[in-house]
Structure 1
Amino acid sequence: MLELRPNCERCDCDLPPDSKDARICTFECTFCVSCVEGPLQGVCPNCGGNFVPRPIRPASKLTNNPASTVRVRSKHTIVV
């Protein structure tokens, strides 16, 4: 099951479970669409993989399968 991380690892913007702006790579590195399409140019700075839209977990499933609340920041990304 996906963690559904709550933030972009680069700019730290909020990415709630129903966000259409969340992008993930094969290792679940999570970034916002603005960072992916902008500075990251579609390449994960952590693993070098590509990104896909993160699936949206239906609200009815969040009670028993909640999204992560742990905010992750990429150690490979420098925010200017």
Structure 2
Amino acid sequence: MLELRPNCERCDRDLPPESPDARICTYECTFCAGCVEGPLGGVCPNCGGNFDRRPVRPADALLRDPASTVRVHAEA
């Protein structure tokens, strides 16, 4: 199950579970659309993979399986 990490690893922008701007790679590295389409050029800086839009977990499913609250942020 996806962790649904709460922020962009590059700019630390909040990415709540329902955000349509969250992008993930195959290892679930999480970035915002702005960073992926801009500075990252569509390539994950951690693994070299590509990104896809992170699925949105329905609200009732979030009650059973909540999103992660652990923030990951790379220091610039």
Give the TM-score normalised by structure 2.
Answer: 0.97
The match for 2:33 is 33
Q: CA RMSD in A?
A: 0.9
TM-score w.r.t. length of structure 1 = 0.92
Identity level (%): 75
Counterpart residue number, 1:7 = 7
Q: CA deviation at 1:53?
A: 0.2
Q: Any unmatched runs of 5+ in structure 2?
A: none
Aligned to 1:22: 22
Unaligned 5+ segments in structure 1 are none
In the TM superposition, residue 16 of structure 1 has moved relative to its aligned partner by 0.3
For residues 13 and 59 of structure 1, what CA distance do their matches in structure 2 show? 21
Structure 1 match to 2:66: 66
Task: Name the structure 2 match of 1:43.
Answer: 43
